[in-house]
Amino acid sequence: MIEVASEARDRAYVPYSGFRMGAAVLTTDETIVPGSLVENVSLGLAMCAERVALFAAVAAGERPRALVLVSPRTDGAVTFPCGACLQVALELGGPGMVVVAVSTDGEREEIVLGDLLPRGPRKA
């Protein structure tokens, strides 16, 4: 999954920030789905790599069970998904989904989604 996310990172469209991010989702049927950050001059129209991968998994008829993000560090730390991406992951994969954040220099941190977003809104 890290390799797929790294390759997706190389395809990111980031003419404004230059902050390349790639993601990969492992689905319940063991398929790995990539996602790349896609920016837009109208910032609200940009889409994070994680949501691209999560939405693509759903579009393929699958549900995610793990998410990997590969990106540069933020403030010296491994970069984890933003709140919007965590909320989408919670909706589609549930609180037990594994989230792996990997820096471009290879440091890796893994955590369960419910621990990253413990009080996120959940479907009934």
DSSP string, 60-95: TT--EEEEEEEE--BTTBPPPPPHHHHHHHHHHH-T
The sheet that has 98-103: what strands, in order across it? Answer: 32-36, 22-27, 64-71, 98-103, 108-112
Catalytic residue set: 50
